[in-house]
């Protein structure tokens, strides 16, 4: 059975008290009119062999979409209370610098929505010249990695900086700086691909998804080598249920693949226990910092898939995560930024 998998518990609030665990009780309740759908519940609604639940998922997607959350002064009130727990990294810059003094900083950066804006066509998610210059300067000071759900080669073609570490396919395709670059003068380039055996299956599913979803206007299937992305950002909401059924019809024959969800995208991945958090740990170990008490990892990302990395940092008690979002979200990140322009300002 293929199912949507999500282990992290999330808040449920819809103008009523539905807190079920102590951790949730510590968080401020959602103000009247604000709808926050449990991510775990949302994904359970999408269980692959329950056709009726596809419709439930579509309803949940509509409710949790920012365009469906505008309930005037309550949004501003909730933003304010959320910012108390996740203050702007720009406002807290001096405190962040103080916390990192005497420690080895290691930078981890998501790509889409963090270094580049979210755009309708994923093939045109270009980073600005200013951002590239900023990341280049950053890499001269600290080990720096791009951790993305995209194919590693595609991310490299966007960023075009040989001195970085690149972890594509949600960390399932990791490569270190090119030999001879300033970041890798003497050591062999890191290369790690824990899901190589799945490549033929993923290519096969990609072809089927392209054929199956071509009748849905706006749907785009992207082959990210070790995972697949079905983008529905440009799909009419009335067609979401149809698209979900199409994906379901293909994946029912592939129990070794699982479905997860990002920002207006469905992700198909191997069932191995690997994610961006595991990639972060692997890179820290490759750099020789796995057991160091004076390492200070910083991870900046905007998507739910970045939560695995945020959680690792929180559990380690080292460094911190920064969530890039204009809207309040339940997150393991310590700080927040609103958009890529703020990311650039924070890194300068």
Q: Using alpha carbons only, give the angle 16, 22, 26 rounded to the nearest 5 degrees.
A: 70
Band the pLDDT of 190: cuts 50, 70, 90.
confident
Position with higher pLDDT, 39 vs 209: 209
Q: Tell me, what DSSP letter sits at residue 126?
A: P
pLDDT, mean of residues 228-249: 94
Catalytic residues: 110
Q: How far is CA 234 from CA 17, 140, 228, in A?
A: 35, 38, 17
pLDDT on residue 56: 55
Give yes or no for residue 6 having a pLDDT over 90: no
pLDDT on residue 171: 96
Residues 6+ apart with CB under 8 A from 148: 110, 111, 112, 155, 166, 167, 168, 170
Nearest to 53 by CA among 66, 63, 43: 43
Which residue in this structure is represented by tokens 């961006």? Answer: 276
pLDDT, mean of residues 41-50: 42
pLDDT, mean of residues 281-298: 95
pLDDT on residue 16: 36
Query: Could you read off the pLDDT of 59-70 as tens digits, one per residue?
Result: 545 544 555 455
pLDDT on residue 13: 34
pLDDT on residue 178: 81
Cβ 37 vs Cβ 60: under 8 Å: yes
Cα 234 to chain centroid, rounded: 19
pLDDT on residue 30: 37
pLDDT on residue 64: 42
pLDDT on residue 307: 96
Give yes or no for residue 261 having a pLDDT over 90: no
pLDDT, mean of residues 3-12: 34
Query: Could you read off the pLDDT of 50-100 as tens digits, one per residue?
Result: 444 566 556 545 544 555 455 545 556 677 788 889 999 999 999 999 999
Domains of the chain in sequence order? 22-85 (no CATH), 93-194+274-347 (3.40.50.1000), 196-270 (3.30.70.1020)
Average pLDDT, the chain: 82
Lowest mean pLDDT segment, chosen from 5-19, 67-81, 127-141: 5-19
Q: How far is CA 241 from CA 57, 58, 135, 235, in A?
A: 8, 6, 40, 11
Q: Which residues of 114-142 are buried (b: 16+ CB within 10 A; e: fewer)?
A: bbbebeeebeebebeeebbebbeebbeee
CA 262 – CA 6 distance, rounded (Å): 12
Query: Could you read off the pLDDT of 320-336 as tens digits, one per residue?
Result: 999 999 989 899 999 99
Return the CA Rg of the chain: 20
pLDDT on residue 262: 84
Question: In this structure, is the dihedral angle defined by the CA atoms of residues 181, 187, 188 and 192, taken in order, positive or negative?
Answer: negative
């Amino acid at each position: 059975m293929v199912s949507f998998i999500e282990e992290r518990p999330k808040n449920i609030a819809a103008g009523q008290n539905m807190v079920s665990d102590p951790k949730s009780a510590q968080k401020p309740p959602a103000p009247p009119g604000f709808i926050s759908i449990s991510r775990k519940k949302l994904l359970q609604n999408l269980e692959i062999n329950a056709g009726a639940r596809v419709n439930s998922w579509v309803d949940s997607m509509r409710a949790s979409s920012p365009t469906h959350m505008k309930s005037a002064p309550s949004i501003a009130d909730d933003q304010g209370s959320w910012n108390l727990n996740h203050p702007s990294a720009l406002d807290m810059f001096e405190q962040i610098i103080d916390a990192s003094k005497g420690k080895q900083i290691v930078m981890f950066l998501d790509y889409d929505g963090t270094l580049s804006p979210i755009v309708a066509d994923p093939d045109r998610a270009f980073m600005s010249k200013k951002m590239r210059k900023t990341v280049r300067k950053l890499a001269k000071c600290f080990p720096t990695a791009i951790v993305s759900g995209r194919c590693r080669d595609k991310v490299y073609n966007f960023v075009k900086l040989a001195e970085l570490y690149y972890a594509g396919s949600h960390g399932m395709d990791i490569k270190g700086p090119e030999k001879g670059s300033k970041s890798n003068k003497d050591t062999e380039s890191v290369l790690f691909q824990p899901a190589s055996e799945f490549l033929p299956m993923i290519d096969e599913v990609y072809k089927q998804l392209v054929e199956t979803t071509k009748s849905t206007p706006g749907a785009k299937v992207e082959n990210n080598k070790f995972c697949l992305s079905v983008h529905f950002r440009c799909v009419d909401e009335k067609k979401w249920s149809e698209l979900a059924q199409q994906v379901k019809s293909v994946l029912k024959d592939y129990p070794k693949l699982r479905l997860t969800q990002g920002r207006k995208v469905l992700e198909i991945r191997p069932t191995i226990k690997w994610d961006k958090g595991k990639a972060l740990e692997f890179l820290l170990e490759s750099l020789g910092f796995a057991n160091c008490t004076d390492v200070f990892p910083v991870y900046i990302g905007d998507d739910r898939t970045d939560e695995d990395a945020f959680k690792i940092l929180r559990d380690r008690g080292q460094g911190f995560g920064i969530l890039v979002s204009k809207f309040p979200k339940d997150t393991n990140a310590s700080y927040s930024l609103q958009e890529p322009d703020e990311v650039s300002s924070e890194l300068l």
